[in-house]
Structure 1
């Protein structure tokens, strides 16, 4: 959990606020970058929309893109860096061809079930430690070589697909497989911020992911059927079908993503960025966020994303010191 002194701690409070008074830091609010400015294939700054209009910011050394796994590839493509076919279809002049940008989108997708407690009284309190107060990392199959599933427990009932309001005196319990192999994509459809992207998530499209979902659900049922949970909780919204087709359909219709998108500017020998996180085909341009991760970490992506930022800082300082 990201917690300090009993309260939730954001990355902004932990890092940005500590550095905001430095002379080399300037924070601009209500600002959306619409493209990276290039001189040839060299990044020289960014063009952004602010309440007063359009402004440009120049970079003396490098441009570092940190917009996340959904926005970073879109920004690069709007700037002319991406798959030539995507750029041509969107009407964007090509600066650098890079077919890996926007592909390899991976997400944790899980299922949550609402329960009502028959004996435990409800209460109200601030949630200083996040929503999932209990978590388990487990094997969906006891013969597996390593844990492959997360089980989460939330001490409240949240609105579901039936539109029911949040209630106390209940719980939400759910699970998600760790390392999905299904990959999707996100790409621009036009040159401007006003053009909606084309998102193809492609969830549960591989046999690996479908079988892991089925195995995870079987383990989930064993756990929620155990005492003392089983005596006080009703799980009326469990899917009626437990075969692969039924569970996959239930997950796609009633499940949810865990907001862990990664991989759309992945590093690797044929990836969008190299091992210094420099965008291939360009100069003075890096990406430093979850989009550079080629595969999903087993758990949440917040701490690994902060680690990417920390490592990128070291890479930049190393380059400056040479």
Structure 2
């Protein structure tokens, strides 16, 4: 049975309601930069996670090439011979520790749901009258439903994308014989795009549910019920705002990769420059992610009624 429930705190955001349908990029960025300390905290978590994951590999890298006159520059030589040499020397170690590292990355990712919940709370102005302890408790309260949502949605997204890829690979030979190689390739390409879009739409529903769990304190079931009851037109509009951020992210990634390739032929400044470049890209990613979450929060606070599943 479905009954309407008015969230207790939506009344505090009445002034946002009229703006919700006009929530543009400048406004979302204004909200994001208003909470710059939260951005810096989330960035610090990402840096700590990166260092924790990459430190063993950096240590191995230094042991192999640290005393060489060219140092780590050997790894940037064309052909990747030095990199292959590193992998060959540490193959046994890598094979031994790869499962452990994989589990560690997965564990760290799930723990990262707590900083994510804190970021959503901050972007929604839910922390103005909270102490840090209360702020953290609110994030911890959201952890279990967020983790369950992640397991459900990510598994489904992988199933859709992986199932689509498997189907296309199986059907490719049949299409080639019946339609010719060129037409078969075109159909396969359209199929890949179709399944990727389907998977990414599920990702949008995932983010909507996340925001409802944290921002409106819904249970997992309530959040999913609300997300899948949204009108298609609203979901498509949200998907558009998500898609341009992903496209911009991709453009920045390709530009950063090209710049890294140029820098790799330079001197010792390369490592420092690449480190700065990586952190700039990481922080830009966080800004785009935060602006997307802010967009969802504003959309959420614009409604007068949400649904509670009993």
For Structure 1 versus Structure 2, the TM-score category normalised by the shorter chain is under 0.3
Higher relative contact order (CA 8 A, sep 6+): 2
Task: Report the structure, 1 or 2, having the larger strand content.
Answer: 1
In the superposition, the TM-score normalised over structure 1's length comes to 0.23
Task: Report the structure, 1 or 2, having the larger helix content.
Answer: 2
In the superposition, the TM-score normalised over structure 2's length comes to 0.24
